[in-house]
Amino acid sequence: MESAHSRCIAWAKRHGARFAPDKYQLIHFTRRRRDPNGDTASTVHFNGQEIPTETTIRVLGVQVDTGLRWREHAQQAAQKGNTAFEALSCINASTWGPSMKRSRLLYTAVVRPAILYGSEVWGMRNNGNPPASSLIRPLKCLQNRCLRKVMGACKRTPTAALERESNVPPVDLHMEHKAMKGAIKTTDHPVTAKIKQVVDTVWTSLRRPAGGAPAKRRRSANPVLRPKTAGEGTRRQALIRVEEQAQRRPGGKPAGPLKALDRWLNLEWEQRWTRKAGRQKAATWETDWTFSAHQLYEGLPKYEATALFLLRTEVLGLNAWLASVGVPGVDKRCPSGWPAQTVRHILLFCPTHAESRAFYFQRAGRADLYGALSTPASAHQAARWLTASGLLGQFSLAQEIVKEDTSGPEGLAHLDEWTAVQGTERDHPPFGGSKFSKGRPLTGKSAHAWSDGVETTPSQQNACEAGLRVGFSFAKGASPS
């Protein structure tokens, strides 16, 4: 190690660089639980400065531990993801915030890359298999929470339905897919060849005795082979996946390796979905896998997208579902007398909403439940009908905002008269009058004084008036012009 450090110092002198020994870090890689000789506690000295050993160091944003177990990095990734989730929660809720498309983009473009940074390295084992489930369980829970915010889902909504409706694959499949694509892309990279050369050199040196000369042994029928690195194992696993997908194609025609890995991801995800769906009858489970369900939410505001998602999953605050999960004091019967208040009942049969439902079906053009919730036009009408029906109280505020009159800032219709009156009654009146102007509006080209003695020009007064108008416009729900 000291010899390698000397070569680095020589390189730095040639190129005008300088290292900082106080920033050096030393770590010993081993998975042995016992260290009778104290090798893992040994330190090194460079230029008279001792470099202590560390159990975890940060290399290019990845937390590297002594056993390469990656638990510390996974914990830090989960903490970083929780912070991002809190930020996402500040701008997103079930009935307000960005649309489903933009909310999903925030997760896939900001949150997920942050928590899965470097997963090509720490997200796969040496044999090319995914990591232990305990390592990625916090990341699965984090994605589940984020997708609930994106889709406006209830806590009891199945994770598979969240992933399907938002078109976001499971975390473990995404990590494996990302690692295999990275391994394929770097197959012929010079760095990959250099890593293999160095690993072979280290392995050969470890197989030599302490004297340096190779030991004279009888030739073994099964020589000890160097274990695969994580990159080599992932690359081998990727090639197996590519070959499997080539055999599935008609005639066994090979396709590009990256496209083959995309098909593998889609097939694995579909198989999981099929097992999870079972015999469930909600629209989200009945939709054909080849149909992109997230397209149904295009063009809908957040509260209507949430309503459509609740209808498609049938996990919502209707009496039948509330009673099925054991909410106390809830009877599954519909107030109209029907034995169960379900999505099918309220959309097709409930006499309480017969008139509004007839208008909805007339505009939707579909009279069957699956068709009404699986085509964009009719699904949008179903979402609008649910939010306007009053069946779910969570949409009441959204309906009030929709029905509110935002035609103009009516509160400022008689601004001059109001300011004149207020200027004579208050010690600190608004811009329209002050104790210096005796209640008269501040007009003209000359500067006027506020009640606190600060002089203002007519342009400043106009800016203040414009600011108040914008504030009233936002209060009324209108956008500033």
CA dihedral 216, 222, 227, 233 (to 10 degrees): 150
Q: Which DSSP letter does residue 64 get?
A: E
CB 371 within 8 Å of CB 377: no
What is the average pLDDT across 408-429? 54
| Orientation of helix 159-166 relative to helix 133-151, angle to 10° | 60
What is the average pLDDT across 423-444? 45
Which residue pairs, CB below 8 angstroms and at least 24 apart, start in 143-150? 143/107, 143/112, 143/168, 143/170, 143/171, 145/85, 146/81, 146/85, 146/88, 146/107, 146/111, 147/107, 149/85, 149/88, 149/89, 149/92, 149/93, 149/103, 150/92, 150/100, 150/103, 150/104, 150/106, 150/107
What is the average pLDDT across 333-357? 88
The more confident residue out of 43 and 172 is 172
Label residues 406-435 b or e (16+ Cβ within 10 Å = b).
eeebeeeeebeeebbeebeeeeebbbbbbe
CB 284 within 8 Å of CB 292: no
Note the pLDDT of residue 413.
Answer: 54
pLDDT at 421 over 70: no
Note the pLDDT of residue 475.
Answer: 40
Low-confidence winner among 9-13, 145-149, 320-324 (lowest mean pLDDT): 9-13
pLDDT at 265 over 80: yes
Give the model confidence (pLDDT) of 377-393 as tens digits: 889 989 999 999 889 99
What is the average pLDDT across 134-146? 93
Note the pLDDT of residue 163.
Answer: 95
Q: What percent of the chain has pLDDT over 70?
A: 77
Note the pLDDT of residue 67.
Answer: 85
pLDDT at 434 over 60: no
pLDDT at 455 over 90: no
pLDDT at 157 over 90: yes
Q: Give the CA diameter of the chain.
A: 112
Note the pLDDT of residue 443.
Answer: 45
Distances (CA, A) of 394 to 105, 138, 307, 388: 25, 30, 10, 11
Q: Is 11 helix (H, G, I), strand (E, B) or coil?
A: helix
Note the pLDDT of residue 445.
Answer: 40
Rounded Cα distance, 9 and 7, in Å: 5
Rounded Cα distance, 276 and 271, in Å: 9
Q: What percent of the chain has pLDDT over 90?
A: 40
Note the pLDDT of residue 216.
Answer: 53
Give the model confidence (pLDDT) of 44-98 as tens digits: 877 777 888 888 899 899 999 888 888 999 999 999 999 999 999 999 999 999 9
Note the pLDDT of residue 251.
Answer: 65
The three state secondary structure string of 448-462 is EECCCCCEECHHHHH
Q: Which sequence spans correspond to the domains of the chain? A: 2-54, 55-207+228-278, 295-403, 412-476
Q: Which of 373, 375, 378 is nearest to 312 (CA)?
A: 373
Note the pLDDT of residue 82.
Answer: 94
Q: Which of 142, 218, 129 is nearest to 175 (CA)?
A: 129
Note the pLDDT of residue 454.
Answer: 44
pLDDT at 319 over 90: yes
Note the pLDDT of residue 127.
Answer: 77
What is the average pLDDT across 118-127? 85
What is the average pLDDT across 285-299? 91
Distances (CA, A) of 42 to 35, 59, 92, 96, 332: 11, 21, 52, 58, 69
Instruction: Label the pairing between strands 49-51 and 44-46.
Output: antiparallel
State the pLDDT confidence band at 32, using cuts at 50, 70 and 90: confident
CB 81 within 8 Å of CB 139: yes
Note the pLDDT of residue 417.
Answer: 61
State the pLDDT confidence band at 139, using cuts at 50, 70 and 90: very high
Note the pLDDT of residue 125.
Answer: 81
Highest mean pLDDT (candidates 128-137, 174-183, 429-438, 450-459): 174-183
Give the model confidence (pLDDT) of 207-228 as tens digits: 765 555 555 555 555 667 888 8
CA 129 distance to own-chain centroid: 24
pLDDT at 141 over 80: yes
Output the DSSP codes for 112-141. Answer: HHHHTTTHHHHSS-TTS----HHHHHHHHH
Rounded Cα distance, 6 and 412, in Å: 78
Note the pLDDT of residue 423.
Answer: 56
Tokens 């995914």 sit on residue: 130
Name every residue whose Cβ is closer than 8 Å to that of residue 458 and which is 6 or more positions away in sequence. 442, 443, 444, 445
The more confident residue out of 398 and 305 is 305
| Average of per-residue pLDDT values in the chain | 80
Burial of 60: CB neighbours in 10 Å, binned 0-12, 13-18, 19+: exposed
Tell me the pTM: 0.76
Distances (CA, A) of 388 to 81, 190, 343: 36, 62, 15
Note the pLDDT of residue 452.
Answer: 40
Rounded Cα distance, 238 and 14, in Å: 42
What is the average pLDDT across 430-451? 41
